[in-house]
Structure 1
Amino acid sequence: MASKGKILALVSSGRGFPLKDGKIYKGAGYYLNELTVPTRALMKEGYEITFANPRGNTPQPDVNSETVDFFGGDAAKLQDYLLFRDGLMELRDPVRIADVIASGLDQYDAVFVPGGHGPMIDLLDDPDAGIVLRHFHETSKPTAVLCHGPISLLSALPNSWEFVAALAAGDVAGARAKAQGWIYAGYKMTIFSTAEEQQREPLEIGGKVLFYPDFALSTAGGDVSVLAPWKSYVLQDRELISGQNPFSDEAVLKVLLSVLNEKKKVAAAA
């Protein structure tokens, strides 16, 4: 099959998610279904996937995601996706985001950021992730972010590190002051909700997050909305496609494919 194009998938390099009271959640990484369901379908459609992260190290899966809960209760489906993931050489040996930028971002048709708590470790204030997102914003190319993945949008802030530090310190006014000039201000978007995070804190991460993802995006200037916990929910606003939680994986994929196909029709007709 001839290649339809290239998709850039940003994942975390992180090993350890800082929590309140000095705790560290060592199991943080990408959620299996959030990464594999969209990328596998995109590959079947003929797209090449480039996986990239800040350090170029093998990304860590969140072990809490390797369960049948996120695959419709189907153990065979879970195993199938585990085998697919294990066969992804590009995921085991990702490119550094800086190297992707150096090789040229124009070659990519879309960028995709799956969730899991990994993006909360490093993608939220990574300067290179910010360069990538600003490119896709400026060129109006699809930017699909899922569950905790939308937290990466903060990296496009002019002072992302300072914004995140202020929010982690509980300085909401200071964070708002650092949010001036955010390219996604006023965008309709969704992300893993406070209610969902509070349910998972005792069950999954064993502590409290430094700040809640939906509050962070709202503080930065996003028009954030969420549904009741664990309902599939996707919003599209301009180039941005965002999904609320792990159960939004297929819905995000559907919108992304629709946008990509429409862009190709327009390009072919031009």
Structure 2
Amino acid sequence: MAKGKVLVIGSNATRIELQGGGWAPTGQYLNETVVPAMALIEAGYDVVLATPDGTKPHIDELSDSAGHFGGDETALAQARAFWAENPAMNAVRTLHEVIADGLDGYAGLFFPGGHAPAVDLMQDAEVGTILRHFHERAKPTALLCHGPIAVAAAMPHAREFRAALVAGDAGKAAEWAKGWQYAGYRMTVFSASEEKIVEDNVLHARLYFYMPDALHIAGGEVVTGTIDFEPHVIVDRELITGQNPRSDHPIAKALVEALDRARATA
């Protein structure tokens, strides 16, 4: 019998807007999705994947590389096979269905990264409903790389908050963020210096806002690592955040440990 169920919330975004007009292709990162999911299953938890529209998330092509698996081609092949074939990765539910069926049966929550959550999940009302449920019950809530920006969805005016960020109006964004459940939490997210490397070498354009700035404006105590692309995970109460793709294994370990602790004290 499984120890419990963990809800994995994926994005349906396939592109992100850029300054000056235009869009860049985006999606979820393969390793950030499958490494934690595989670790959860290995630890005895069932995984349920859900997205806003119930379709399987798009994997960012840049993440389909052995470089994100320590250069291990075998690990990459295993990840591809898991994503393509594992039942948990293919029985995708809508967020609406998950909420309607009841959230009490879930022991924990996980959001993978890639730029995609900064497009749809951070302003999705149903994501907000789910986050508030887990926050109120102090259930382990883990988010990786760009994934931590999704916690903005818990605020009362998440859509307006994002619009203010895109408009470059930090003051207005801070006003819309009032009442945010995660204000004062220590957290990490893909850093501005890491983002600039991506902008210069991959996007060849600028994003409208950086993730640490957005979470800081909202009231988060954002702490990023001193060395770009080195693993960095922060745990504050029920919230577990990882900074970048290489934080995939450490955040998986931290989430499993938090779930096991919660189960032992239930």
- Shorter chain as denominator, the TM-score bin is over 0.9
CA contact (8 A) 1:10 1:114 kept: yes
After superposition, the C-alpha distances for 1:122-152 in whole angstroms (9 at most, x for unaligned) are: 0010000000000000000000000000010
d(CA) in 2 for partners of 1:125 and 1:25? 19
After superposition, the C-alpha distances for 1:201-233 in whole angstroms (9 at most, x for unaligned) are: 132233211100010000000000101210111
Aligned to 1:144, what secondary structure does the other structure show? strand
d(CA) in 2 for partners of 1:204 and 1:79? 24
Deviates more, 1:77-86 or 1:216-225: 77-86
d(CA) in 2 for partners of 1:88 and 1:62? 19
d(CA) in 2 for partners of 1:206 and 1:49? 36
For residue 109 of structure 2, what is the aligned residue in structure 1?
111
In the TM superposition, residue 92 of structure 1 has moved relative to its aligned partner by: 3.7
For residue 200 of structure 2, what is the aligned residue in structure 1?
202
For residue 25 of structure 1, what is the aligned residue in structure 2?
24
d(CA) in 1 for partners of 2:189 and 2:46? 26
The amino acid that maps onto 1:91 is: M
In the TM superposition, residue 190 of structure 1 has moved relative to its aligned partner by: 0.2
For residue 255 of structure 2, what is the aligned residue in structure 1?
256
Matched, 1:75 2:103: no
The amino acid that maps onto 2:212 is: D
d(CA) in 2 for partners of 1:24 and 1:95? 27
Normalising by structure 2, what TM-score?
A: 0.97
Deviates more, 1:227-236 or 1:87-96: 87-96
Identical aligned residues as a percent: 42
CA contact (8 A) 1:25 1:205 kept: yes
d(CA) in 2 for partners of 1:262 and 1:204? 40
For residue 212 of structure 1, what is the aligned residue in structure 2?
210
In the TM superposition, residue 58 of structure 1 has moved relative to its aligned partner by: 2.0
Match of 1:178 among 176, 179, 193: 176
Aligned to 1:84, what secondary structure does the other structure show? helix
For residue 120 of structure 1, what is the aligned residue in structure 2?
118
For residue 244 of structure 1, what is the aligned residue in structure 2?
243
In the TM superposition, residue 69 of structure 1 has moved relative to its aligned partner by: 1.2
d(CA) in 2 for partners of 1:58 and 1:113? 14
For residue 231 of structure 1, what is the aligned residue in structure 2?
230
In the TM superposition, residue 185 of structure 1 has moved relative to its aligned partner by: 0.2
For residue 8 of structure 1, what is the aligned residue in structure 2?
7
d(CA) in 2 for partners of 1:235 and 1:46? 24
Consecutive unaligned residues of structure 1, counting only runs of 5 or more, are none
d(CA) in 2 for partners of 1:255 and 1:8? 16
Aligned to 1:109, what secondary structure does the other structure show? strand
d(CA) in 2 for partners of 1:78 and 1:146? 19
CA contact (8 A) 1:185 1:222 kept: yes
The amino acid that maps onto 2:235 is: Q
Normalising by structure 1, what TM-score?
A: 0.96
Match of 1:133 among 125, 131, 134: 131
CA contact (8 A) 1:32 1:65 kept: yes
d(CA) in 1 for partners of 2:264 and 2:238? 17
For residue 143 of structure 2, what is the aligned residue in structure 1?
145
d(CA) in 2 for partners of 1:241 and 1:12? 19
CA contact (8 A) 1:142 1:256 kept: yes
The two structures, once aligned, show a CA RMSD in angstroms of: 1.0
Consecutive unaligned residues of structure 2, counting only runs of 5 or more, are none
Aligned to 1:73, what secondary structure does the other structure show? coil
CA contact (8 A) 1:64 1:204 kept: no
CA contact (8 A) 1:168 1:211 kept: yes
The amino acid that maps onto 2:231 is: S
Aligned to 1:105, what secondary structure does the other structure show? coil
In the TM superposition, residue 259 of structure 1 has moved relative to its aligned partner by: 1.1
